[in-house]
Structure 1
Amino acid sequence: MKKAVIFDLDGTLSDSIMSMKYSGDKTMAEFGYGPFSVQDYKYFVGDGAANLVKRALIKGGDTKLTHFEAAYARYREIFQANCMYQVKPYEGIPKLLEELKKRGMKIAVLSNKPHHATLDVIESLFGKDYFDVVQGQVDGVPIKPDPAGVFRILDRFGLTADEVLYMGDTATDMKTGKAAGAFTVGVLWGFRDRAELEEGHADAIIAQPLDLLKYCE
């Protein structure tokens, strides 16, 4: 029986693409690049802020990443002030979380977004202490797809990998969950498509949040 669910944040719990596009475009404009499309940002995101900036710079033509250090520092400043720009939970997510809590299941967030921004988003959307564990990117812990973050959450819960579901919207998430030994559930309402989730060897793929419940038994 599953006892917990670990959620990715961006593209899984929160529809946050416009916050990253807004901050990314403001940053890139200072270096003479962009703006970029929403679809572009759906592929810039997912592997941490540093990789988002690198991908945007390369897309803009800075293939040698000459401006990376300055652009990365600037992006972090801009994003810190705008991390909630047009961010909202996906339809059906609040109901899913409510149902999981009714069943006595623990819920956690594991994100490659900086930890302070992860907390800001979660607390703004769902309230303080709504999730049992919230883990964003911190120094000393490798980002996904390294499973270190999953193992930290499992230790907090006192659970083994086969007792949790890992839910996300990218191949990076599927690789993270599988590397930890968890059952992985890919979602179709996020930033990537079914083909990517299948290539990431998702154990299950769902189209609506409440569809997760069938895998909680």
Structure 2
Amino acid sequence: MLCLFDLDGTLIDSELGITACIRHALDKLEIPTPADLRDWIGPPLRHSFAPLMDHDETRVEAAVHYYHERFADLGWREYAIYPGIEAMIDGLQANGHQLAIVTSKPHRHAQPIVDALPFGHRFTRLYGPHPSSPHSEKASMIAAALADFGASPRETVMIGDRRFDIEGAVANGVTGVGVLWGFGSRTELEQAGAHALIEHPDLLGALLAA
């Protein structure tokens, strides 16, 4: 089976780095930072910045620039691997599953993180949108993965913590598995059409076997 994994909120807890970069960008533009930034983790940056800037495209692009400025230097290192993830990934590969990452994080920011993960070499491919894209692109990236691996939707599962992951899976007829240790909620994942929800990484192997 082809297993496609989201990155932020699924494999790694990246809240520290992402929120620090958001604050950096808003400080540069002298815009008050919202009290809760957890909902910003997952959606495209432009989607989240736009309402704070009255959808002024120039200011939105400036915010994205400042975010990436800090992320490239410091933010990409500010994360923790969720407990149980490494054992899960090792077990999936040992059981013959093909592994890839499909993330809303631009490829150039995601690649250094994946390269630094102790299990990063187990992923055959990494899919990330172009930095200028205002969209999640999960659906199109999942479609690209299906084509690259020559996999059918019935042989593929998308694992993620936000509705964007599940909606991308649904758009491609792929099984969507929502994880409850990330930044999304049970309600969000269920409403998006998740086929199953898991509360700990060690449950995924048994779910796939079933």
Taking structure 2 as the reference length, the TM-score comes to: 0.90
Deviations 1:70-105 (A, max 9, x none): 222222222221232421211111010000011011
Other structure's SS at 1:107 match? strand
Partner in structure 1 of residue 32 of structure 2: 34
Name the amino acid aligned to 2:3. Answer: V
Q: Which runs of 5+ in 1 are unaligned?
A: none
* 1:43 partnered with 2:17: no
Report whether the alignment pairs 1:54 with 2:50.
yes
Q: Which runs of 5+ in 2 are unaligned?
A: none
Distance 2:59 2:13 in 1: 29
* Residue 175 of structure 2 corresponds to residue 183 of structure 1: yes
Quick one: which of 41, 51, 54 aligns to 1:63? 54
Q: Indicate conservation of the 8 Å contact 1:45/1:52, yes or no.
A: no
SS of the residue 2:122 aligns to: coil
Q: What TM-score does the superposition give when structure 1 sets the normalisation length? A: 0.87
Contact in 2 for aligned 1:45/1:51 (Cα 8 Å) = no
Aligned to 2:11: 13
Q: Which moved further from structure 2: 98-107 or 118-127?
A: 118-127
Q: In structure 1, the residue corresponding to 2:32 is in which secondary structure?
A: coil
How far residue 68 of structure 1 moved from its aligned partner, in angstroms, is 1.6
Aligned-residue offset at 1:36: 3.9
| CA-to-aligned-CA distance 1:162-188 (integer Å, 9 cap, x gap) | 101110101111101111111110010
1:158-197 aligned at under 5 Å gives the runs 158-197=150-189
Structure 2 CA distance for aligned equivalents of residues 180 and 143 of structure 1: 17
Q: How many residues align?
A: 208
| Aligned-pair CA distance for 1:209 | 0.7
Question: What's the offset of the Cα at 1:145?
Answer: 5.3
Structure 1 CA distance, aligned partners of 2:132 and 2:150? 22
Q: Which amino acid aligns with 1:63?
A: D
Determine if contact 2:138/2:165 at 8 Å carries over to the other structure: no
1:131 aligns with 2:123: yes
**Which secondary structure does the structure 2 equivalent of 1:129 belong to?**
helix
Q: Deviations over 1:8-62 (max 9, x none)?
A: 110111100111111111111111123444xx2221221223224335xx1xxx3
Counterpart-to-counterpart distance in 1, 2:120 and 2:88 = 18
CA distance in 2 between counterparts of 1:17 and 1:125 reads 17
User: C-alpha deviations, 1:119-176, integer Å up to 9, x for none?
Assistant: 1111112366331111111279884355110111112211111101110101111101
**Matching residue of 2:98:** 106
Segments ≥4 residues shifted beyond 4 Å:
139-143
Letter in 1 for 2:124: D
Q: Over the residues paired in the alignment, what is the CA RMSD in angstroms? A: 2.1
The percent of aligned pairs where both chains have the same amino acid is 27
